[in-house]
Amino acid sequence: MVLGVLALSVLGMLGFLFRGLFDPNRLPPSDWRLFQKRFITADGRVVDTGNGNVSHSEGQAYAMLFAVAYRDRAAFDRIWAWTRKNLQVRPGDKLLSWQWRPDYQGGGAVADPNNASDGDLLAAWALLRAFRVWQNFEHQQAALQILADLARLDVRQGTDGLVLLPGTDGFVKPEGTTLNLSYYVFPALQEVAAAVPGGPWDKLAKSGLALLAKARFGEWQLTPDWILDGDPLVPAPGFPPLFGYNAIRIPLHLGWQNLRSELMQPFAQFWRKCREKNTFPATVDVVTNAWGADPALPGMRAVADFAIACAEKQSLTVRSLPVLTEEEAYYSASLNLLTKLAIRELSAQP
């Protein structure tokens, strides 16, 4: 009898492992191993290999999210420790300086003390997820401190609702407020709103969606990286009017929060046309409609596949996307892993 129970237990465990191993939405362990090898130093600095090997708050936060997703507590602790020591150094608040350069001041230092609100939001999101997984109250406290200062310094009234400043300094000018709608990380805002009732996060998400519905330009009705808040919205002066390396994240954020969002349709329609032409540009000028000469990064192609699948109500699995390769630079690799994480989490929803 005991042997029979043991046999059933072993078979059950083997079945669980078998199902996990062949789950089409399992996050590939090889992706995380390669990401750490290529982009994370021994002390937890995340290196942007496509941008002079700088580090920034966005990259640190993405890596923290990945570490939680892969249940890698040691990696998370290293990344957060480096972030806290080197970026959370602004006097008067707990926000993160956005850029650290290895060649600055002779040995590596913050090169721009201004924050980037997406990096702050992403870091707080990762810390809240870490708290849920590992029950370390210091993670929760750190997240709440970042969110309190983010709400105090970077959330303000815009033309038609609350807006999220891209950073505390330099984005509010007499001609208007410059916004970056890829900084509205909708799944993060959703989770933060649930974790911090009474904050501005629900209203901010709703106003961000309303802005996206209006921030459509050119033949393809795409959203540029930078816009100027106002009535009407316009591409922000001083920035190229491109749907590009920033705005590529918008459809990812939309689908991650609501895979049936109607706001996904223009992005999907554009990328369907790219499939027909077998040409995927990294950028599109929303004023002239000209396609940029540089091809989309592999990670950008992953986002495009995700957007089309969402818009067409098709199934897309983690396994259907390419595994990370040695050739991919930091940003492409990050988009690759983020898209897979979104698919994994959406597949787990009832």
**pLDDT(221) > 90:** yes
**pLDDT(78) > 50:** yes
CA distance 299 to 210: 27
Q: Assign 295 a pLDDT band (cuts: 50, 70, 90).
A: very high
Can you tell me whether residue 251 is helix, strand or coil?
Answer: helix
Give the residue-averaged pLDDT of 74-99: 98
Please report, as a single letter, which amino acid is at residue 299.
Answer: G
CA distance 290 to 156: 34
* Residue in 211, 62, 197, 33 with CA at minimum distance from that of residue 122: 62
Say how many CA atoms lie within 13 Å of 166 toward its Cβ: 16
- E-strand stretches of 141-275: 155-157, 162-164, 172-173, 176-179, 227-228, 234-235, 242-243
CA distance 341 to 123: 16
Q: Is residue 161 within 8 Å of residue 213, measured between CB atoms? A: no
Q: Assign 15 a pLDDT band (cuts: 50, 70, 90).
A: very low
The 10s digit of each residue's pLDDT in 226-284 is 999 999 999 999 999 999 999 999 999 999 999 899 999 999 999 999 999 999 999 99
Instruction: For residue 162, give Cα distances in angstroms to 171, 204, 210.
Output: 15, 5, 11
Q: Please provide the DSSP assignment of 61-114 as one string.
A: HHHHHHHHHTT-HHHHHHHHHHHHHHTS--TTS-PPEEEEETTGGGT-EEEEEE
| Helix 117-134 with 57-69: angle, nearest 10 deg | 20
Q: Angle 126-167-77 (CA atoms, 0-180°, nearest 5)?
A: 25
CA distance 110 to 197: 33
CA distance 153 to 163: 11
Active site (annotated) includes residue 120:
no
Give the residue-averaged pLDDT of 108-131: 98
Percent of the chain past pLDDT 90, that is, above it, reads: 91
The one catalytic residue among 48, 58, 191, 225: 58
Cα 100 from chain centroid? Answer: 19
Cis peptide before 232 (omega within 30 of 0): yes
Q: What is the residue-averaged pLDDT of the chain?
A: 94
**pLDDT(11) > 60:** no
pLDDT of 348 reads 82
CA distance 135 to 141: 11
**pLDDT(3) > 50:** no
Active site (annotated) includes residue 118:
yes
Q: Is residue 286 within 8 Å of residue 236, measured between CB atoms? A: no
Q: Assign 75 a pLDDT band (cuts: 50, 70, 90).
A: very high
**What residues does 281 pair with on adjacent strands?**
295
Q: Assign 181 a pLDDT band (cuts: 50, 70, 90).
A: very high
Q: Against a cut of 0.75, is the pTM above it?
A: yes
Measured from the Cβ of residue 206, the count of other Cβ atoms closer than 10 Å reads 13
The one catalytic residue among 31, 48, 93, 118: 118
**pLDDT(77) > 50:** yes
3-state secondary structure 254-301: HHHHCCCCHHHHHHHHHHHHHHHHCCCECCEECCCCCECCCECCHHHH
Antiparallel, parallel or unpaired: β 284-285 and 227-228: unpaired
CA distance 211 to 229: 9
Domain 26-347 matching CATH 1.50.10.10: the answer reads yes
Can you tell me whether residue 171 is helix, strand or coil?
Answer: coil
321 vs 20: which has the higher pLDDT? 321
